Every structure is written in C-alpha cells, then in structure tokens.
Amino acid sequence: MGLEQSQHRFHIRQKLTPMANRYVVHAAGPDGTDGEVVAFAHQKRMALKERITFYTDESQRQVLFTFQARQMVDLGATYDIRAASGSPVGTLRKNFAASLLRSTWHMNQEGVGAESTGVERNMTVAVVRRVWDLIPFVDVLPFAWPYHFDFAADGRPVMSVNKRIGLRDRYVLEIGDEHLDRRLAIAQAVALDALQSR
C-alpha cells in the first residue's frame, strides 16, 4: 500500500547506529499497533549541510523524498522537502529566537498559502529539556520525558507530534488536516528529533 494521503496516524521510531540516525515510519493500525512501514529515513551525522533521505522502506532501494538545508549548519536554516523527482513539497524552518524558551517551527506546503506553526505544548517540559542539556555528563543521555508539539494554521489544528516516555525515541504523528502532504508532515516529525539541538 505504501504512503497514502488518507493515512492520519503514524508511529516513528529512531534506530541508532554509529555513523547515522535512522527513523522507521509505520502507518498506525486501527488498534494502535504498528502497521506497515511507509517510510525509512537515513541521516548522516556531523554533516555540514544537513540532508535526510527518506526511502519507501528499509531496503533503501527507492527514494520517497528528501530533506535538505539550504545553507551550511545554521541555527535558523530553511529546509527544503522535495519529491523523488526533485519537485518541491514544502519547507521547514526553526524559529531560533522563539525556540530559546519553547521550540517553535514553521512549516509551509508548496502551493498552500497558510503557514503552519508548531510549538511545544508544555512550557515546563520545554524548560526542563533546556536545563537537562546543560548538565555535564547527563546531556549525553536521551531526554526520557515525553514532549509534544502542536501545529496550527490561522488558529486551525493541522497536526501534532507526541513523544512517548522512554529512553528510546518514539513518536506518534497525528494529522488533522486532510490536505497536509504526508511527506511534509513526516519530514517535520523527524526534524523535531533529528534537529532539536540546532
């Protein structure tokens, strides 16, 4: 079946390897379990110009879409999401100034006027995450407490990303806007983990 526009709920799991971050994206089953794999992301670590390639599955034989920064490492970089053909899907951008207190992202879909803005739901968790990153030796451990992002456009809910509690990074992506391109939504959900420290 693969990735379809009619799918509204996805599970995203990070797989750690020595030289890369990998993310497996499942369509969520009706009972809340993992359904089929609809995307697999591969991100090389320590790249000067951030790029993540999304494939149709873990074999990495067929590219689904790509995610690439326009500039070298930059705290306020814009990231272009492109289909396998190279055509634009949309852009993502972290609002660096607003993110000093509570992480804030802007998501734009190609051909759609309204910008979606995503903000961490819980201010307390946002502050604790920042303190955690400042504690010596503890900052190398993953932040186990769950956190959540809500995206809206003109006051209308678009999607949410919820991190599950645990040492392993697991997320639930819920899409409330039927017109939101699922590739853009998945790219944003992965960016919340892969680029959170940027």
E strand intervals along the chain: 9-16, 20-28, 34-44, 51-55, 63-69, 78-83, 88-94, 104-109, 116-120, 148-153, 156-163, 170-175
d(CA 59, CA 68): 21
Residue 167: pLDDT band with limits 50, 70, 90? low
User: Whole-prediction pTM value?
Assistant: 0.86
Phi-psi region of 55 (alpha: psi -120 to 50; beta: other; left: phi over 0): beta
DSSP tag of 144: -
pLDDT bucket at 66, cuts 50 / 70 / 90: very high
- By the 8 A CB rule, do 189 and 170 touch? no
Copy the structure tokens of residue 168.
């392993």
Whole-angstrom Cα distance, residue 189 to residue 100? 19
Confidence of residue 5 (pLDDT cuts 50, 70, 90): very high
The CA-atom distances, in angstroms, between 17 and each of 26, 109, 183 are 19, 31, 24
* 86 residue type, one letter: G
Between these two residues, 72 and 114, which has the higher pLDDT value?
114
d(CA 38, CA 78): 25
